[in-house]
Amino acid sequence: MAENVRPRVRVPATVAAGETITIKTLISHNMESGQRKDGDGNVIPRSIINRFTCDFNGQNVIDVTLEPAISRNPFFEFQATISESGTFQFTWYDDDGSVYEEQKEIAVE
């Protein structure tokens, strides 16, 4: 199990209909590449977040494949245009099978 994995998300709470918002996400994760060796010369097994997705009211916003060369604590910033109130669903998939999830509500006013 990867340690101290903690997803964080920033989404505005409200938005005007049709407006484009900026979303920031970060997950604390070591992103062990599988290329490094420990002091005894043994390969440290790969352990990374390999996929990240964001959906809004069931519709996909982005779907990212992550590779071992990505630095620790992967940070994503992206935009979405919002026309209705609803829920963002964020999901990170770990090599070890763990799935980390986070949800954020946004209201159109």
Partner 1 sequence: MKALALKGVAAVSALSFVAASALADENANLVVNGEIDMTIRAPAPDHMENMSEVMSGWLFRSSETQALQLDDFENPGMIWVDDAREVFASESGSGGESCASCHDSPEALAGVRAVYPKWDEEHGEVQSLEMQINECVTERMGGEPWKYTGGTMVNMTALLASVSRGMAVNVAIDGPAQSTWEMGRDLYYTRTGQLELSCANCHEDNYGNMIRADHLSQGQINGFPVYRLKNAKLNAVHSRFKGCVRDTRAQTYSPGSPEFIALELYVASRGNGLSVEGPSVRN
Q: How far apart are CB 4 and partner 1 at their closest, in Å?
A: 6
Q: Summarize as ranges the residues that interact with partner 1 (CB under 8 A).
A: 4, 6, 8, 10, 24, 26, 28, 71-73, 75
Instruction: Name which of 30 and 85 has its Cβ closer to partner 1.
Output: 30
Beta carbons within 8 Å of 74's beta carbon, 6+ residues apart = 26, 27, 29, 31, 49, 52, 66
Alpha-carbon distance of 83 to 76, in angstroms, equals 22
* 61 and 20 Cβ atoms separated by less than 8 Å: no
Q: Least distance in Å: CB of 12 to partner 1?
A: 13
Minimum CB distance to partner 1, residue 8 (Å): 7
- The amino acid at residue 109 is E
The nearer residue to partner 1, 74 or 80, going by C-beta atoms, is 74
